[in-house]
Amino acid sequence: MFEYEVLHTNGSARVGKLVLPHGEVTTPQFMPVGTQATVKALSPFDLKAVGATMILANTYHLHVRPGEDVIEQLGGLNKVMAFDGPILTDSGGFQVFSLEGMRKVDEDGVTFQSHVDGGRRRLTPESAMEIQWRLGPDVAMAFDHVVPGTADRKEAEDALDRTARWLERCRSRHEELTRNSPNQQTLWPILQGATFEDLRQRAVEQVTSIGDWSGIAVGGLAVGEGRSKMYDVLQALEPALPKGIPRYLMGVGFPEDLLEAIARGIDLFDCVAPTRNGRNGSAFTASGRVNIKNSIHRTDSEPLDETCDCETCTSYSRGYLRHLFLADELLGLRLMSLHNVRFLIRLAEEARKQIASNNFGRWSEDWLTRYNSRG
């Protein structure tokens, strides 16, 4: 278990196979986000139908509600979610960034004020490992200190070095939990360093000096620094990343970002963007984004995206989808979310084909030109 094989390369873009306890994942791959043990508006049967092979859940939010003890007693995340494929859990490190006004960081860990009941919740590297162990995902993420993309050098450097110190504690506690256990779970580290390329290089050195890993994540991007800066960081980081393990870019899930990151050697992605945009009536299509609520779609009998094979596009018209949103019908939220998730999974599928045929660069450039022509 926890093996990764690179099957094809085309420049820095890669096709690979990741073997995990609950199944195999072919990369590049987009992973839908089920923050609270559910991908919003979609059932596990929907996820299987659109080709999702690996999904995410969130340590902090499940710790707050319903609690890792409840998930454990109900049989773990796979059982609770009725999803039989691999699951990865974020450690709660992103909430250090997203809940900035409701937390306090110290060297030992982070104290949060719960957004649910106002009570205090404490996460440390050790407790983040313990919670994820009880949740039961295939992949647990290290607890890290995420800072905004616009962070200055001192703030970025402090968070980077703290993340390395926390990683050592995460690894030690995770080894204690997994030692002599029949359960199988792996731990992946997270690279920080904001937009400073030399700090990102330092992060790789720190992580690889701590030990060998079955995967590695790039965190702290897509948090306010701008797309071009994110691409620059990934471009500079790629030569330093370990070659024989999957590279996971956290929190990135817009179509253009997937292709740009795949070109820079990234294998795995996750983001709430497809479902969040879908619930707000915004769809990814081959010719750009579409706001289904616009009046131009009132009597449009065409599918949302004629190139797409999802239930939404093969069964319903744009006019009907617009009606669902204007009538506040829940079906609209599901159908748009379903399409957007399928769109990204299908995009990753096509990227794999193009990499394998040594045509990724030309295909990606043409695809992005067409997609961005309508914004």
Instruction: For the sheet with 216-218, list strands across it.
Output: 29-32, 268-271, 247-249, 216-218, 190-191
> Could you please report the per-residue DSSP string of 159-211?
HHHHHHHHHHHHHHHHHHHHTT-SS--EEE-EE--TT-HHHHHHHHHHHHHH-
Nearest to 51 by CA among 15, 25, 77: 25
How would you classify the pairing of strands 13-20 and 110-113? unpaired
> Is pLDDT at 375 greater than 60 in this prediction?
no
How far apart, in whole angstroms, are the C-alpha atoms of residue 246 and residue 27? 8
189-228 pLDDT tens trace: 999 999 999 999 999 999 999 999 999 999 999 999 999 9
Contacts of 221 (CB under 8 A, 6+ apart): 149, 230, 233, 234, 249, 250, 251, 252
User: Given pLDDT bands bounded at 50, 70 and 90, which one contains residue 341?
Assistant: very high
Higher pLDDT, 97 or 195: 195
What confidence tens digit (pLDDT) does each residue in 298-328 have? 999 999 999 999 999 999 999 999 999 999 9
Residue 65: both structure tokens together: 């509600």
257 included as an active-site residue? no
Q: What is the CB-side half-sphere exposure of residue 288 using CA atoms within 13 A? A: 8
From 90, 138, 257, 305, active-site residue: 90
- Whole-angstrom distance, CA of residue 272 vs CA of residue 149: 18
The catalytically annotated residue of 46, 144, 270, 305 is 270
CA distance 84 to 82: 6
Structural domains of the chain, ranges and CATH numbers in brackets: 3-271 (3.20.20.105), 279-372 (no CATH)
DSSP string, 216-275: EEE-S-SSSS-HHHHHHHHHHHGGGS-SSS-EEETT---HHHHHHHHTTT--EEEESHHH
pLDDT band per the 50, 70, 90 thresholds, residue 1: confident
Q: At what angle do helices 255-262 and 360-372 cross, to 10 degrees?
A: 160
DSSP 8-state code for residue 33: B
The whole-angstrom separation of Cα 350 and Cα 41 is 25
Q: Is 46 a catalytic residue?
A: no
**Mean pLDDT over residues 286-292, rounded?**
96
